[in-house]
Amino acid sequence: MTVPAPIAMLAELTYRCPLSCPYCSNPIEMAQKDRELPTDLWLDVFRQAAGLGVLQLHLSGGEPASRRDLADLVRGARDAGLYTNLITSAIGLTQRRLDELETAGLDHVQLSLQGTDAAMADHIGGYAGGFKRKMQAAEWIVDAGFPLTLNAVVHRQNLHQLPDAIDMAVAMKARRMEVAIVQFHGWAMQNRAALMPTRAQAAEASRIVAEARKRLEGIMVIDYVPADYHEDYPKRCMGGWGTTGLNVTPDGQVLPCHAAQTIPTLTFDNVRDRPLADIWHNGSAFNAYRGEDWMQEPCRSCDRRKLDFGGCRCQAMAIAGDPAATDPVCIKSPLHGKIQNMADEFAADDTATLTYRVSPR
C-alpha cells in the first residue's frame, strides 16, 4: 500500500499549562517536564518532518509558551521550510515574546477561547484572572499583524455565548474561526456529564454557525465540528488514520492521533529511537488502521467507508471496547442507540461538576 506523505504535524512541546481546561485533549497521565525533548532534538524532528513531506507544523501543548525556547523552535522550523502555527491560550505571552516570535518567522496564531467574559472563561480555564491576561495578549497578537484563528471549544456550559464568540472573532479581525463542540477524549471524557450539550443546544449551534457563515462570507471562514454524540454519522477522524497527520508528544512518542494512547493494543515508536519517516511508513501503530483491511461489518461493505473511514478508532475503543469496531456514533452501529441515550442522560445531569485537568510540574 502506498502511503502518501503527511500534510501536518502536531508537536506537543510540553504538557505544562497555566490553564486547567476540563476538556483538554492531553492524556490523563502526562509526561513530566524532565522528559520533554530538548531543543536540539525537536529541531531535528522538524527537519525530519520537512524531509518526510510535512508542510504545516502546529506548535501545541499544554501551553507551548511554557517552553522558554519557543522562538528558537519556531526559527528552526522555518529554516526547515515548515509553515508554523502556534496554538496557544496566549497566557504567558508578553509583547516582548511576541516580538521574538515575529522575528523568528512565526506564520500564524491560533488563539483558544474558553468563554466570552471573565466569569465564564476563568471558570472553564480554572484560572482566576486568565481572561484579562488573554485579552491583553490578544490585542498584542492582533497589533503585531499575525494571521489569526480564534478557536472556541463550546459545550453545555458556554454554548449560549456562541454568538458573542463569533462577534469577538470578527472584532479581532480573525481570518478564520474554529467552532468545535467538545469532543470526548482525554479530560473531556471525565467530564461528559458536565459538558455534554443538549440536543436542542447542538441544533441551535448548527443554526447559528450556518447563519454566521452566510453573513460573514468573504470576511471570516468558520470551521465547525458538530456535537459528535448527537449525530447520525461519525466524523472522519484525523482525515483517516495515518493518512494526513501525526502527533509527537512532549517526550517524543509519535502517535497517529492525540488519543491513540487510549488503545491498549497499540505500541508507539519514539523519535529518540527511530527515524520519523520510518515510523510514519512502517510503524505498527500507523499501519494498524490504515486502508480498509481492518474494517468489520457494517463498515466493510458500506458505501461511506471512503468518506469517514469508519469514524474514530479511539471512540470505538472507548464506547465499544474494540478499536476496530464501527464508531458507535454511526446509525449503522448496534451501539448507536446506546450512545444517543448516553448523550441525553449526560446532557440532563444538572448536578455534575467539573474535574479540572492537572498539569505536570
Residue 302 binds which one of ligand FES, ligand SF4, none, with CB within 5 to 8 A depending on kind? ligand SF4
- How many other CB atoms are there within 10 angstroms of residue 151's CB atom? 20
Contact 275, 290 (CB under 8 A): no
Minimum CB distance to ligand SF4, residue 348 (Å): 27
- Asked if residue 323 binds ligand SF4 (CB under 6 A), the reply is no
The 8-class DSSP code of residue 320 comes to I
- Asked if residue 236 binds ligand SF4 (CB under 6 A), the reply is no
**According to CB under 6 A, which residues from 257 to 276 bind ligand FES?**
257, 259-260
Residues in contact with ligand FES, shown as a per-residue x/- string from 239 to 258 under the rule CB under 6 A: ------------------x-
- Asked if residue 233 binds ligand SF4 (CB under 6 A), the reply is yes
Residue 182 CA to residue 184 CA, distance in Å, equals 6
**According to CB under 6 A, which residues from 284 to 303 bind ligand SF4?**
298-299, 302
Residue 312 binds which one of ligand FES, ligand SF4, none, with CB within 5 to 8 A depending on kind? ligand FES
Minimum CB distance to ligand FES, residue 259 (Å): 4
Residue 228 or residue 269: which is nearer to ligand SF4 going by CB?
228
Minimum CB distance to ligand FES, residue 184 (Å): 10
Given the DSSP bridges, would you call strands 8-12 and 245-248 parallel, antiparallel or unpaired?
parallel
CA dihedral in degrees (68, 43, 13, 133; nearest 10)?
40
Q: Which residue is nearest to ligand SF4 (CB)?
A: 302
Residues 6+ apart with CB under 8 A from 80: 43, 46, 47, 49, 50
Residue 251 CA to residue 12 CA, distance in Å, equals 9
Helix (H, G, I), strand (E, B) or coil at 84: strand
- Given 75, 185, 230, 336, the residue binding ligand FES (CB under 6 A): 185
Size of the site for ligand SF4 (CB under 6 A): 14
Residue 305 binds which one of ligand SF4, ligand FES, none, with CB within 5 to 8 A depending on kind? ligand SF4
Dihedral sign for Cα atoms in the order 27, 33, 37, 39: positive
Minimum CB distance to ligand SF4, residue 339 (Å): 12
Which residue reads 476540563 in cell numbers? 22
- Asked if residue 339 binds ligand FES (CB under 6 A), the reply is no
Residue 354 CA to residue 19 CA, distance in Å, equals 14
Residue 12 or residue 122: which is nearer to ligand FES going by CB?
12
Residue 290 or residue 304: which is nearer to ligand SF4 going by CB?
304
Burial label, 357 (beta-carbon count in 10 A; 0-12, 13-18, 19+): buried
User: Residue numbers of the site for ligand FES (CB under 6 A)?
Assistant: 185, 237-238, 257, 259-260, 312-314
